């Protein structure tokens, strides 16, 4: 079983959110489990400007990749390879596409990620041993599914490869209007690839063409099948039947470990949490808040995006503060949400700290130094933040949605068995209610303890999200099943193929 990932992010080289964490952690875990893939997993990643070349990277030569944007019809793309972190990182270096300040957000993203996907397939086509599984992630690599079926169907290697698409985010779909089809090397009037007269939704194409599709928690998979939670793709997902399912993400318990974390001022573990008080006092001083105030400190980390519900938090902030809690917020993104949060911080300069940047080390100090972690996401495919917080002994307050509801047990309704606090509606009122419940139970951050709170922290820290024990074996099983489906379909011949692709849902 040879497996190749094609992904737009991979920690520590390129990350804007959970996608980067998951790609790295899963590739690594697959390399370690018994019955894992043969040889190293390949991880294809664009060489963005911000990607540092690993010192052990080797030049793997230049290949000619069909490139609709170039006058010659093809582009010379440099490939760099490094065996590192337990997998083989294969960087696609094409400065015209990737030597730019940001990872995403350009008008020609369809071309950029189309070229990336095509280059990955061209590299794999030249390998001595072809991949059995192409594991693609989010819309950025979904052009690979179109290309496999359009350009490589009769290739002895790639034509046999099975596709597994993992949806980390259903909201971004790579919409490509017909006039942009040439960016993918497809004729604009091609109806076989895109039955929708308006264009092609790349994520939809990945869904209908992949042998199997999963999302990153069972809870989110269930929501994605509904009109409300499906972002317009629920008909395509329902059409997949049992070929669409959820696999809960794990957490990299080596990367996220308060007992070994070099970025926090004092390490601690489940048996002895005394270091956590030092982390608390340290991060409060660092951010200009009083380290001796015993009230609960709520930590919040994430992309400032409508999805993450930081605006709900901003609206709730006055009530949260008046209830005795303080807030530390780390995040960057949407300027409107950022200015809302700046307003909150200005209103309560001694009680609220808002740090508007992406800072990995500060994030760790906040996970360790906060008393409670807040994640008010409107929707959440899985979420890493709440899992990291639990591992750091910081019970999370989460909205009952997607992966958040799969990973956090509400203490109020399961007294003595909870791992955090869960609220039902994405509203300031519902959030304030959960903060009030947490605050009422919190004994004080000045060294005071209570058996109830200690128990809550202990249960949160005890939850085992390790990739190698559950998620990675579940992906291996999915790879085997995808290969079986692909091989059976090819043997049965084109006329026996199960169902024709759906038109794009309205």
- Per CB under 6 A, residues contacting ligand ADP are 17-19, 21, 301-303, 330-332, 358-360, 363, 383-385
Q: Which two tokens stand for residue 189?
A: 């009037």
Task: Give whichever of 196 and 359 is closer to ligand ADP, judged by the CB atom.
Answer: 359
Q: Would you say the C-alpha torsion 485, 491, 496, 499 has a positive or negative sign?
A: positive
| Helix (H), strand (E) at residue 319 | helix 310-322
Give residue 84's region: left, alpha or beta (phi > 0; psi -120 to 50). beta
Min separation Cβ 9 and ligand ADP, Å: 9
Task: Give whichever of 125 and 303 is closer to ligand ADP, judged by the CB atom.
Answer: 303
HSE-CB for 207 with a 13 A CA cutoff: 35
Contacts for 37 with CB less than 8 Å, ≥ 6 apart: 1, 2, 3, 30, 31, 476, 479
The full length of the chain comes to 506
Give residue 447's region: left, alpha or beta (phi > 0; psi -120 to 50). left
Task: Give whichever of 113 and 151 is closer to ligand ADP, judged by the CB atom.
Answer: 113
Min separation Cβ 192 and ligand ADP, Å: 34
Task: Give whichever of 336 and 413 is closer to ligand ADP, judged by the CB atom.
Answer: 336
Min separation Cβ 403 and ligand ADP, Å: 8
Q: What is the 3-state secondary structure (H, E, C) of 414-442?
A: CCCCCCEEEECCCCHHHHHHHHHHHHHHC
Coil vs helix vs strand at 337: helix
Task: Give whichever of 40 and 251 is closer to ligand ADP, judged by the CB atom.
Answer: 251
- Exposed, middle or buried, 202 (CB in 10 Å: 0-12/13-18/19+)? buried
Min separation Cβ 167 and ligand ADP, Å: 12
> Residue 25, Cα to own-chain centre: how many angstroms?
11
Buried/exposed 466-483: b ≥16 CB within 10 Å, e otherwise:
bbbeebbbebbebbebbb
Task: Give whichever of 330 and 397 is closer to ligand ADP, judged by the CB atom.
Answer: 330
Task: Give whichever of 331 and 395 is closer to ligand ADP, judged by the CB atom.
Answer: 331
Task: Give whichever of 206 and 302 is closer to ligand ADP, judged by the CB atom.
Answer: 302
Min separation Cβ 367 and ligand ADP, Å: 7
Q: Would you say the C-alpha torsion 299, 388, 55, 129 has a positive or negative sign?
A: negative
Min separation Cβ 358 and ligand ADP, Å: 4
Task: Give whichever of 84 and 307 is closer to ligand ADP, judged by the CB atom.
Answer: 307
Min separation Cβ 423 and ligand ADP, Å: 17
Min separation Cβ 310 and ligand ADP, Å: 11
Contact 137, 7 (CB under 8 A): yes
Contact 395, 421 (CB under 8 A): yes
Min separation Cβ 200 and ligand ADP, Å: 25
């Amino acid at each position: 079983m040879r497996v190749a990932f094609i992904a737009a992010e991979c920690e520590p080289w390129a990350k804007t959110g959970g996608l980067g964490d998951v790609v790295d952690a899963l590739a690594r875990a697959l390399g370690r489990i018994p019955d894992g893939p043969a040889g190293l997993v390949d991880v294809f990643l664009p060489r963005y400007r911000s990607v540092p070349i690993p010192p052990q990277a080797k030049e793997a030569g230049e290949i000619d990749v069909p490139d609709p944007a170039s006058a010659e019809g093809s582009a010379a793309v440099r490939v760099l390879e490094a065996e590192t972190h337990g997998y083989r990182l294969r960087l696609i270096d094409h400065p015209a596409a990737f030597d730019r300040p940001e990872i995403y957000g350009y008008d020609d993203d369809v071309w950029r990620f189309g070229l990336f996907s095509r280059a990955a397939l061209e590299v794999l086509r030249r390998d001595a041993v072809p991949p059995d599984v192409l594991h693609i992630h989010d819309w950025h690599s979904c052009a690979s599914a179109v290309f496999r079926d359009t350009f490589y169907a009769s290739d002895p290697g790639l034509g046999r490869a099975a596709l597994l698409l993992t949806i980390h985010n259903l909201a971004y779909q790579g919409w490509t209007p017909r006039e942009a089809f040439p960016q993918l090397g497809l004729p604009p009037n091609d109806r076989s690839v895109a039955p929708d007269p308006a264009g092609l939704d790349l994520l939809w194409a990945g869904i209908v063409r992949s042998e199997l599709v999963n999302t990153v928690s069972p809870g989110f998979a269930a929501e994605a099948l509904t009109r409300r939670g499906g972002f317009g793709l629920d008909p395509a997902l329902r059409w997949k039947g049992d070929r669409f399912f959820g696999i809960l993400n794990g957490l990299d318990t080596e990367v996220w470990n308060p007992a070994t974390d070099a970025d926090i001022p004092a390490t601690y573990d489940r048996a002895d949490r005394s270091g956590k008080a030092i982390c608390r006092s340290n991060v409060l001083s660092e951010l200009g808040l009083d380290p001796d105030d015993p009230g609960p400190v709520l930590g919040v980390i994430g992309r400032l995006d409508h999805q993450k519900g930081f605006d709900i938090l901003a609206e709730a902030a006055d009530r949260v503060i008046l209830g005795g809690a303080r807030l530390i917020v780390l995040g960057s993104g949407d300027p409107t949400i950022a200015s809302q949060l700046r307003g909150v911080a200005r209103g309560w300069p001694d009680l609220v700290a808002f740090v508007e940047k992406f800072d990995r080390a500060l994030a760790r100090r906040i996970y360790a130094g906060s008393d409670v972690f807040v994640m008010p996401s409107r929707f959440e495919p899985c979420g890493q933040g709440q899992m990291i917080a639990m591992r750091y002994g910081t019970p999370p307050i989460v909205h009952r949605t997607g992966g958040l509801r799969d990973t956090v047990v509400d203490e109020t309704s399961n007294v003595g068995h909870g791992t955090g606090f869960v609220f039902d509606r994405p509203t300031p009122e519902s959030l304030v209610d959960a903060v009030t419940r947490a605050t009422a139970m919190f004994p004080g951050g000045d060294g005071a303890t209570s058996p109830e709170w200690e128990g809550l922290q202990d249960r949160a820290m005890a939850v085992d999200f390790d990739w190698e024990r559950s998620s990675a074996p579940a992906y291996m099983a999915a790879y085997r099943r995808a290969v079986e489906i692909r091989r059976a379909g090819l043997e049965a011949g084109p006329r026996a193929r199960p169902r024709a692709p759906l038109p794009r849902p309205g």
